[in-house]
Structure 1
Amino acid sequence: MKIFYHTSATSIGGRSGHTQLDDGTLGFDLVSFQEKDKKGVNPEQLFAMGYAACFDSALSLVATQMKLPVQSSKTSVGVGLGQKSDGAFSLDLDITIEVSGLSQEQAQVLIERAHQVCPYSNAVRGNVDVRLHVKVV
């Protein structure tokens, strides 16, 4: 595989610590989803933000390739954290796009193709339950 981009981040203290990009440009104090009284974010929230941005970019790329007249799009990713029957932890995902300028059928094909292109989707495929939802506005 030809690598187009590489970045790295470091976390200290796990879910109750701090994570930041190794170049120092962005960092977050982390809190567990159970710690409602502390300020910070949890890894699932960061994953949801990254996945939503990546998927929306894949959607735009695929729409251009398919020559679809998308007027606007918005991608939301819901991330659930759960425990499987074997005791391992896993993610559960819902990807919802809102798109204008397309028919419902075109939007459905678009989200399915974007799901094949998006690097996050490719990373979780076969490991994580992912549900795709489309709203034409």
Structure 2
Amino acid sequence: MPHESLTESLYAVAATAKGGRGGHVTTEDGVIDLELGKPGSKTNPKANPESLFAAGYAACFGNAILSVGQATGLDLSESTVTAEVTLGRTDTGVGLAVALTATLPGVEAGAAQKVLDAAHERCPYSKATRGNIDVTVTLG
């Protein structure tokens, strides 16, 4: 996909982090004000960059599904998306991979796959990650 520049701003928000992965993050609007912690900690679980990315990608992809449904006349209001973000080693250091799993209740598998393909084309997170990291999209 070619580079896309914004032609109109629809929304902007700024977040500030202090202390890296073990620090604190806030958004300028005060909606997010979180202590961060080590990914996968069982003794002291806290939000981390990967959990925040997973939440954002799942919500964004879910909205893309709803948008496709609206454009095609399908009621996809009961659909769900799970984004599993994996942090791991790469040949050049550390990177991410994402596995998206979506359920579209009441939609035949072939039609559901077409919805997912269209959603993956229009989701801003999918656009931002395309060609940069491994992203899989699966019908659940």
User: Structure 2 length as normaliser, TM-score?
Assistant: 0.89
State how far apart, in whole Å, the 2-side matches of 1:66 and 1:104 are.
16
**Alignment RMSD, CA only?**
1.4
Q: Residue 71 of structure 1 contacts residue 101 of structure 1 at CA under 8 Å; is this kept in 2?
A: no
Runs of 4+ residues over 6 Å off in structure 1: none
Alignment of 1:21-100 (within 5 A): 21-33=27-39, 35-70=41-76, 72-87=78-93, 89-100=94-105
Corresponding residue for 2:128? Answer: 123
Contact 1:81 1:91 in 2 (8 A): yes
CA deviation map 1:71-123 (0-9, x unaligned):
62011100000111122x21111001011121100000100110111111111
Unaligned runs of 5+ in 2: 1-5
- TM-score using structure 1 length: 0.91
Quick one: distance in 2 between partners of 1:20 and 1:71? 31
Instruction: Report if aligned partners of 1:59, 1:111 keep a CA contact under 8 Å in 2.
Output: yes
- Cα offset, 1:34, TM superposition: 5.4
- Give the Å deviation of 1:57: 0.6
Q: Percent identity?
A: 37
Counterpart amino acid of 2:118?
Answer: R
- Structure 1 gaps of 5+ residues are none
1:2-36 Cα distance to aligned partner (Å, 9 max, x none): 11100010000000000011122321100111543
